[in-house]
Chain A
């Protein structure tokens, strides 16, 4: 013991330097960087809680925010896919509006069987995405211009087909299916997602987290002691979550939210565990290098637009389920929060990469920031101001911080 300290004595000053640099390394590590924005948001929510009390700390109300805005979060995923490919898809708002009108209008005005209606919506998303993809890839039209134009066309078609006015089932018109919209249906908040599935999913997450920790064992720790430490971390985390009424959260999840998370899960698997996901990231990051490495960049880009179109179409359908009606241009205002969610996703749980969970969580945080202010007395007309400000602030702060570290 004493001989060791003697041996280390002359290097006291470098020791201090390495402690300092260890601190810097910790600050600079991807994990810290990725969680910083998350922590900032959580601190903000604690502040909201202290300020607004039960009006903000209310599981049902907060889950209702997510439920009502599930279409926006899905649009966030839609734009995320094309952003990964290095493209912008500004047409998703128009597409969502179109499929909302198709869902309601084809039933109410034209009495189509509902299965066919859903098929038509998905087909619209597929064809719309294909049109975007071919315009950008085959004709080389600038992605902003192409999707701005097609977005206008999608929106316009919804007006042309259904008269450009609010559309909802009336007493003597055909009704939307009871399972789809209205009380106790897919679209209603009171219809809850089977909690057993959520619990199983959480258990899988816990196991995954444990294994992830296992892979990060510091060399000086023995396997046994690290097992105990990992287990301890897991127990503490679980205790915190249950302390925050995890049971209440799980029971409060609506079918809409569940469906949204399932779509997110599928997309995440595609992005992480398929060759397609890897090719898409490579295409977005350096198209020339990807092409020379054998990636069919044109094909991947078209598929990205098609996926984006399909997700936007689904978002529109869910919007119709939630509202049971279609209003002109309903999806166009969603473009800002959708892009905000995708870009916030690059600074949440990630350092600069687009990410499914980042997008969903970033979008949700954004909602809560705005809702908190509205609950606190801000008129709802400020929503877009807050959305824009939070997006710019979060991305700017984390960019500056990353440059410093």
Chain B
């Protein structure tokens, strides 16, 4: 591990002792024989789990394995068909309404325009001075205590919108703890955070575990689970297939548990170190500036896959927009080779990627529609749908009907559809931002395989990701975006995760 988190940790300990007086042990959570079906499709086949207080549990499994269903049943959003949930031997219907349980989703449920203090008070018993007049001083002191407990060093009047993504997550954790939550469910909250910030979150969670809380964290990130949890539970197709102390597992053992029988997938996660011939220069940034980035110099050549990483707020993805052309440089220039087409997988799938009200076909073909225009200038829906169906099958999108609705797909399948859109453009420059954000390990290997297949001497690929695993798996050379500039690109073979994380 790098040296930096240690400093933060020490600060946090001091803060912890201030706030820990009202902290109690978590109740014991027992789940027995939990079953759930949707229609004729059984999603959970009888889950038995027992969570002692003071444990940090990593819950893993591919998309569709039943993790979300399990969490939703516990939160009371779904009802189990069979099975019992008990808190300290007291059977409960769900944990959603229990003050001792807290759920943290990717959507943190914070109001951006309001301050930290106001967000913490929302939905809580008001602290009143007299009549309807609020005791603002007491509210602020209580909020300051709550965020100190998670090691967040910010003024309580700071609006949420001014915080980094990781800090927002910490506020959400502080709010759960402030409301008395002792069993914390953290559902993929780290998937959109860069390494440094997700470590702050897991450190804060670790501290609450040390004080007797239970944390159950859903994550696809292997290194995170291996680094910070005490116990790993893996769900595969609605069954608990692994329930072991983390100490007994290493990375490759965990990958094997996750992909069950398919051993080929594991290889795809490893870097590909064979030699590839380079082509000519396709695109170059010359001291280009835009937003918070710049001046950036970067050359993309055919046959090469370049990776960039950095903190959010570093303008990481703005470089992607510059390269793709949806952002114009405010200074400097972007030189694009003659007839070079560029295509983009945007970093935020939900807000920037999909067109929610349309079909898979319409999502895939959006960027290359003129291709299906006939002589009358009207679209030939028949040819369009044949091509879209072919791409849907090739990318193994599930369910595989191109006329199906896009919005109901799982995250990984949505990502494949966006990839399909980019592939149909047949560009020479691919800009892939956060290509594996929030997708399971199987889809991740499929996406890595796909990216490697793009390689050819007249195609350049730029992968921009805050997940270092992406960069090591597919990139030839890696650069770090720091303070708006890109560091010297280094060969991925000469770097390892620790070095890279230290740079970020």
Asked if A292 is at the interface of the complex by the 8 Å CB criterion, the answer is: yes
Known: A18-B40, A278-B366, A289-B346. A353 touches B381 (CB 8 A): no
B355 partner, pick from A272, A282, A352, beta carbons under 8 A:
A282
Contact B379 A293 (CB under 8 A): no
Most buried by A among B353, B358, B366: B366
Asked if B155 is at the interface of the complex by the 8 Å CB criterion, the answer is: no
Asked if A275 is at the interface of the complex by the 8 Å CB criterion, the answer is: yes
Rounded to whole angstroms, the CA-CA distance of A352 and B405 in the bound complex is 13
A17 partner, pick from B39, B353, B355, beta carbons under 8 A:
B39
Q: For window 283-304 of chain B, which residues contact chain A by CB distance below 8 Å?
A: none
Contact B40 A293 (CB under 8 A): no
Asked if A295 is at the interface of the complex by the 8 Å CB criterion, the answer is: yes
Rounded to whole angstroms, the CA-CA distance of A281 and B358 in the bound complex is 8
Q: In the assembled complex, which residues on chain A have CB atoms less than 8 Å from the CB atom of B355?
A: 281-282, 285-286, 289-290
A273 partner, pick from B326, B358, B370, B379, beta carbons under 8 A:
B379
Asked if A274 is at the interface of the complex by the 8 Å CB criterion, the answer is: yes
Chain B, Cβ-Cβ closest to A14? B40
Say how far A266's CB is from chain B's closest CB, in angstroms: 12
Contact A352 B367 (CB under 8 A): no
Say how far B352's CB is from chain A's closest CB, in angstroms: 5
Contact B367 A294 (CB under 8 A): yes
Contact B326 A17 (CB under 8 A): no
Known: A281-B358, A286-B351, A286-B355. A269 touches B378 (CB 8 A): yes
Asked if B357 is at the interface of the complex by the 8 Å CB criterion, the answer is: yes
Contact B354 A286 (CB under 8 A): yes
Contact B366 A295 (CB under 8 A): yes
Asked if B373 is at the interface of the complex by the 8 Å CB criterion, the answer is: yes
Contact B357 A291 (CB under 8 A): no
Chain B, Cβ-Cβ closest to A354? B357
Asked if A21 is at the interface of the complex by the 8 Å CB criterion, the answer is: yes
Q: In the assembled complex, which residues on chain B have CB atoms less than 8 Å from the CB atom of A55?
A: none
Asked if B236 is at the interface of the complex by the 8 Å CB criterion, the answer is: no
Say how far B325's CB is from chain A's closest CB, in angstroms: 9
Contact bitstring A1-34, B, C-beta under 8 A = 1, else 0: 0000000000000100110010011000000000
Contact B366 A288 (CB under 8 A): no
Known: A14-B40, A21-B40, A292-B326. A285 touches B379 (CB 8 A): no
Asked if B421 is at the interface of the complex by the 8 Å CB criterion, the answer is: yes
Asked if B8 is at the interface of the complex by the 8 Å CB criterion, the answer is: no
Contact A17 B40 (CB under 8 A): yes
B369 partner, pick from A17, A18, A275, A288, beta carbons under 8 A:
A275
Interface size on B, residues (CB 8 A): 27
Say how far A317's CB is from chain B's closest CB, in angstroms: 28
Contact B379 A288 (CB under 8 A): no
Q: For window 388-408 of chain B, which residues contact chain A by CB distance below 8 Å?
A: none
Contact A275 B357 (CB under 8 A): no
Rounded to whole angstroms, the CA-CA distance of A352 and B362 in the bound complex is 16
Contact B373 A292 (CB under 8 A): no
Say how far A347's CB is from chain B's closest CB, in angstroms: 14
Contact A292 B357 (CB under 8 A): no
Q: In the assembled complex, which residues on chain B have CB atoms less than 8 Å from the CB atom of A290?
A: 355, 366
Known: A274-B378, A282-B366. A292 touches B40 (CB 8 A): no
Rounded to whole angstroms, the CA-CA distance of A291 and B353 in the bound complex is 10
Chain B, Cβ-Cβ closest to A30? B405
B326 partner, pick from A281, A282, A291, beta carbons under 8 A:
A291
Contact A273 B378 (CB under 8 A): yes
Q: In the assembled complex, which residues on chain B have CB atoms less than 8 Å from the CB atom of A353?
A: 357
Contact B356 A278 (CB under 8 A): no
Say how far A303's CB is from chain B's closest CB, in angstroms: 15
Contact B352 A292 (CB under 8 A): yes
B352 partner, pick from A272, A273, A285, A289, beta carbons under 8 A:
A289
Question: Told that A275-B370, A294-B367 touch, could you supply 5 new A-B pairs with CB distance under 8 A?
Answer: A17-B39, A18-B39, A289-B351, A293-B366, A352-B357
* Shortest Cβ-Cβ A-B pairs, 5 listed: A21-B39, A273-B378, A275-B369, A285-B357, A293-B367
21 A-B pairs in the complex with CB atoms less than 8 angstroms apart: A21-B39, A269-B378, A272-B381, A273-B379, A274-B377, A278-B369, A281-B357, A281-B358, A281-B362, A285-B356, A285-B358, A286-B351, A289-B351, A289-B353, A289-B354, A289-B355, A291-B326, A292-B326, A292-B352, A292-B353, A294-B366
